[in-house]
Amino acid sequence: MTTTTSLTNPTAQPSRQVHRAQTREAARAVARLTPQAQNRRLTQTILDAASAKAAAAAQATTLAKAQLAEAELQAWLKDMDARLEVIFAHPEQNLGEIEEQLARLVKEPLRLLAQRAAQVKANAVPCRCPECHGELQQQRPLCRTLHSRFGPVTIWRRYGWCPRCGQWHFPADYALGLGRKAPASPYLQEISALLVSKMPAEQAVLIAERLGLDLSRCGLHQEAHRQGLKAQEWRAQFVGQLDTWEQIQQVASAAAQEPPAQPFALVIEIDAWDIRERDDWGKTKELRQQGKKPERWHWVYMATVFRLDHRGQTEGQRAVLTQRGYAATRLGVEALSAQLYREALARGLGQASLVLVIADGARWIWNLAKDRFPQARQRLDLFHAEEHLWAVAHDVYGHGTPEAQAWAAPLLQQIRDDQTVAVIASLAQLKPRLLEAQQKKVQTQIEYFEHNADRMKYKEVLEARKACEEGQATAEQKQLANHPVGSGAIESACRQYQCRFKRTGQFWTTPGDEALMCLETLWRNGRWDQLYPHARSSAALN
Ligand SMILES: [Zn+2]
């Protein structure tokens, strides 16, 4: 491939060979000197380096305008001409090559501008304690090099000691949005978070490289984790807004500022999936010897919440939700419950004319629903109800047999007709004719249906749908037909999370998976800009 990278680059460094040769030559020259002369030379070198540093600091800390010098602009234009000339000389190079070369062309001038603009910003920040706002003592400048969107940038910023807080502070770092020791600029913080919450770091690093971003696998991984912790902090604050009754009232009334044009139903779907973690890593043998099995699989609790009037259809008749909230956590049912409640409030819980909770039969879900959404209507996912009936049919009459089909068909219809009592009666009739092991299984299903009987109301929705198909639906039925009878929305959400968190060979730690899941949920909830305000400004400018 032909490249013009080093043609006219104004800041090109000497090649490594040249640099090594120069070093060798300098070493030989020093060896020829007397010991006293060598000492003097060493002292001079140290002094020179110190004064060069002081000069650089002085120049940087007085910079008041971010711009490119005339010579830099000229060199840039020359570089552009050279790159384009090469492309024009090669008929096989297409628009892709033009895009690639122009992107490389602008990187260095943009890097210089970014560095200078950040420097100007840093210079404008008063050297005061960000916590108590007192003037910092023993002020001095220190330089810091960061990875940015355009490559490494070096910034000089003043720092000092706060006697009141007993801490050294770098006020410009706060103003520039930089982590205390982390080397990534805010843009790269965001990109690390975005990439690693979507795919493993070893894949992300290749994509980042292709996009021209200078990130290492380890750097990406660490930065994403730091961002995940930041996301968790934000979430804790968001959820913590509901710690008192007054706060709950405040949040609810803020969400209700604009009364809904039409009454709407709020749907909440809840489910869980399991994740593999590395607990007791390396202690497997030891645990086995003690007769204990190492626990590796743990529950991730998830929920989704949406308004029914935010559900529409694509041209291809596929159902889509235009707005939708998520909650996901590895930290237990209580944590999910708090997150979900906050999310539901943000999505209109206080204004909804009907709240509908849909899930499979897990008891923790109904307990959560009763606790947080006592007014909500609960519905058992129709598919799960049918599955429980099929389990009996297959067990008693054989898997996939016509007998199983014949026995199940009328009962499936009874489920759809809200005749759960009849279903339970049929199961009870069946029981005495079975072997003991089968009786136990049937009893389990009887209890499942008894426990969920009040939640198995599908008839009016299914009838409304039929009426709509036949073009005879009343206005009320048109509304009802839209009500879900299944928990497909949460099941697909679980699957999507699992695509990232349940890959072959993956082992997580709780702090690791929770942090990344928190980022993923923040992104899905459309609150990314809470962590990355620059993302909001880029959307507004485009
Ligand atoms: Zn202070």
Question: Which tokens go with 223?
Answer: 């930065």
Confidence of residue 21 (pLDDT cuts 50, 70, 90): confident
- Do the beta carbons of residue 342 and residue 238 sit within 8 Å? yes
What's residue 230's pLDDT?
Answer: 96
Mean pLDDT of 198-204: 93
Residue listed under structure tokens 């096989």: 92
What's residue 323's pLDDT?
Answer: 87
58 CA to middle of ligand 1, Å?
A: 26
The average confidence (pLDDT) of the chain is 90
What's residue 1's pLDDT?
Answer: 39
- Separation CA 398–CA 407 (nearest Å): 11
169 CA to middle of ligand 1, Å?
A: 8
Q: Give pLDDT tens digits for 438-470.
A: 999 999 999 999 999 999 999 999 999 999 999
179 CA to middle of ligand 1, Å?
A: 18
171 CA to middle of ligand 1, Å?
A: 11
- Do the beta carbons of residue 381 and residue 359 sit within 8 Å? yes
Mean pLDDT of 509-521: 95
134 CA to middle of ligand 1, Å?
A: 6
137 CA to middle of ligand 1, Å?
A: 10
Beta strands 377-380; 354-359: pairing state = parallel
71 CA to middle of ligand 1, Å?
A: 44
14 pLDDT higher than 90? no
141 CA to middle of ligand 1, Å?
A: 18
Beta strands 265-276; 354-359: pairing state = parallel
538 pLDDT higher than 80? no
157 CA to middle of ligand 1, Å?
A: 18
What's residue 11's pLDDT?
Answer: 47
- Separation CA 123–CA 121 (nearest Å): 5
227 CA to middle of ligand 1, Å?
A: 25
Burial of 155: CB neighbours in 10 Å, binned 0-12, 13-18, 19+: buried
163 CA to middle of ligand 1, Å?
A: 7
159 CA to middle of ligand 1, Å?
A: 12
Phi and psi at residue 112, in whole multiples of 5°?
A: -60, -45
130 CA to middle of ligand 1, Å?
A: 7
Residue of 207, 335, 297 whose CA lies nearest to 502: 297
Q: Give pLDDT tens digits for 373-420.
A: 999 999 999 999 999 999 999 999 999 899 999 999 999 999 999 999
What's residue 280's pLDDT?
Answer: 64
Mean pLDDT of 113-141: 95
Residue of 192, 199, 198, 204 whose CA lies nearest to 230: 192
126 CA to middle of ligand 1, Å?
A: 13
133 CA to middle of ligand 1, Å?
A: 6
What's residue 107's pLDDT?
Answer: 94
158 CA to middle of ligand 1, Å?
A: 15
221 CA to middle of ligand 1, Å?
A: 32
Q: Give pLDDT tens digits for 303-322.
A: 999 999 888 777 777 777 78
Q: Give pLDDT tens digits for 239-264.
A: 988 777 887 787 777 776 666 678 89
174 CA to middle of ligand 1, Å?
A: 14
173 CA to middle of ligand 1, Å?
A: 15
103 CA to middle of ligand 1, Å?
A: 44
What's residue 30's pLDDT?
Answer: 77
Least confident stretch, 100-114, 324-338, 429-443: 429-443
Instruction: Tell me the CA distances in angstroms from 29 to 35, 41, 466, one per residue in order.
Output: 13, 11, 95
What's residue 257's pLDDT?
Answer: 64
Confidence of residue 5 (pLDDT cuts 50, 70, 90): very low
- Do the beta carbons of residue 176 and residue 163 sit within 8 Å? no
139 CA to middle of ligand 1, Å?
A: 14
129 CA to middle of ligand 1, Å?
A: 5
461 CA to middle of ligand 1, Å?
A: 62
Give the residue, 254 or 520, on which the prediction is more confident: 520
Residue of 139, 136, 141 whose CA lies nearest to 164: 136
Radius of gyration for the alpha carbons in the chain, expressed in angstroms and rounded? 32
Residue type, 24: R
161 CA to middle of ligand 1, Å?
A: 8
What's residue 6's pLDDT?
Answer: 40
How many Cα atoms sit within 13 Å of 201 on the Cβ side? Answer: 16
8 pLDDT higher than 60? no
78 pLDDT higher than 90? yes
